[in-house]
């Protein structure tokens, strides 16, 4: 099959592209630019790279030409300049669905967030919900995957926890009463995406994808620290303090240690879908727990944050 992936050099898009290419499918990667860790994919003989953003439906339709399905993985967790939630999540999804219909694409799979919902006071959550609604009402066969916190090689979770532990092994809980999470391994999520893209499963469905194990983020930090051989001091912190830190990190870091949207996500917990929706079928339920083996497969090269992580450098 020929599959187009928006956000193709991002975390989820890159792992999905690697799986599809390995299994012999033709992959069209759409992304605004090439990152250093995306060159290997670009050199793969069955992967075409199209440097394009989501703003031009005609260019998207051209890229989607001949594709059987589109995996819409593009998204942001903070707003920078013209990269706003309105422009990326809402207008970008409208352009993707329009282009898919123009190109005759049969299926679209949208990667959304577990607690995306309307009228909740978070621009991130609300824009993700509007993207879901655009796909539901597009007339296309579709699958919407409301995903929890995803981890694996190249993610934000393990990458930032690792570098933080090497830089200053102190972790602040989000809120004085911590809420649980269910981390989703990227391998398990890719299994679900492929079932929807390639096997025609989960047709016209909205499905929650959460991990096999429920735990607190502080426990996840302890497990990462043990794998790294580092002791980590974990302290409670009020939510307002984390919002202040997130604002500072967004202003100063290329990829923030924690973004404002992520504070809101952790403040609520990442366990149950909102609004409620069906879970993945039993054979597609994520099965990998947050074990030392899983953590090792997703860790970046060891080391602290450096000046290169700052936006001013």
Contact status, residue 141 vs residue 197, Cβ threshold 8 Å: no
Instruction: Please state, in angstroms and rounded to a whole number, the distance separating the CA atoms of residues 195 and 182.
Output: 21
* 3-state DSSP assignment of residue 103: helix
**Residue 38 scores a pLDDT above 90:** no
Helix axes 92-103, 123-136, angle to 10 degrees: 20
- Provide the pLDDT for residue 53: 87
- Provide the pLDDT for residue 312: 78
Could you count the other beta carbons within 10 Å of the beta carbon of residue 276? 9
* Interval 146-163: pLDDT, tens: 999 999 999 989 999 999
Contact status, residue 23 vs residue 42, Cβ threshold 8 Å: no
- Domain coordinates of the chain in residue numbers? 2-151+182-211+272-287
* Interval 158-186: pLDDT, tens: 999 999 999 989 999 999 899 999 999 99
For 304, residues 6+ apart whose C-beta sits below 8 A from its C-beta are 163, 166, 167
Instruction: Please state, in angstroms and rounded to a whole number, the distance separating the CA atoms of residues 29 and 48.
Output: 6
Instruction: Please state, in angstroms and rounded to a whole number, the distance separating the CA atoms of residues 33 and 51.
Output: 6
Q: Are strands 180-181 and 215-216 parallel, antiparallel or unpaired?
A: antiparallel
Instruction: Please state, in angstroms and rounded to a whole number, the distance separating the CA atoms of residues 5 and 210.
Output: 22
CATH level 3 topology of 2-151+182-211+272-287: Rossmann fold (3.40.50)
Q: DSSP state, 307?
A: G
pLDDT band at 41; cut points 50, 70, 90: confident
Find residue 147's DSSP bridge partners.
113, 209
Q: DSSP state, 34?
A: -
Containing 71, the helix (H) or strand (E) segment is strand 69-72
């Amino acid at each position: 099959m020929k599959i187009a992936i928006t956000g193709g050099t991002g975390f989820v898009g890159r792992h999905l592209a690697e799986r599809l290419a390995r299994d012999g499918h033709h992959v069209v990667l759409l992304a605004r630019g090439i990152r250093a860790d995306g060159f290997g994919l670009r050199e793969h003989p069955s992967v075409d790279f199209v440097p394009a953003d989501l703003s031009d439906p005609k260019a998207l339709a051209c890229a989607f030409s001949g594709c059987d399905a589109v995996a819409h993985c593009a998204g942001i967790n903070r707003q920078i300049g013209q990269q706003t939630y309105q422009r990326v999540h809402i207008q970008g999804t409208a352009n993707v669905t329009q282009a898919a219909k123009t190109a005759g694409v049969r299926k679209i799979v949208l990667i959304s967030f577990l607690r995306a919902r309307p009228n909740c006071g978070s621009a991130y959550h609300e824009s993700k919900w509007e993207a879901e609604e655009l796909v539901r009402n597009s007339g296309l066969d579709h699958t919407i995957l409301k995903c929890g916190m995803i981890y694996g090689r190249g993610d934000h979770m393990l990458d930032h926890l690792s570098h933080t532990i090497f830089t200053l092994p102190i972790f602040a809980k989000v809120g004085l009463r911590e809420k649980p999470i269910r981390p989703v391994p990227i391998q398990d999520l890719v299994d679900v995406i492929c079932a929807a893209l390639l096997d025609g499963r989960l047709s016209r469905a909205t499905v929650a994808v959460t991990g096999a194990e429920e735990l607190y983020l502080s426990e996840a930090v302890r497990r990462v620290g043990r794998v790294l051989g580092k002791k980590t001091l974990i302290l409670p912190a009020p939510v307002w303090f984390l919002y202040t830190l997130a604002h500072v990190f967004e202003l100063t870091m290329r990829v923030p240690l924690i973004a404002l949207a992520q504070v809101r996500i952790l403040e609520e917990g990442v366990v149950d879908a909102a609004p409620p929706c069906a879970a993945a079928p039993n054979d597609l339920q994520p099965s990998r727990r947050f074990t030392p083996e899983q953590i090792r497969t997703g860790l970046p090269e060891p080391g602290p944050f450096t000046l290169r992580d700052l936006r001013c450098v």
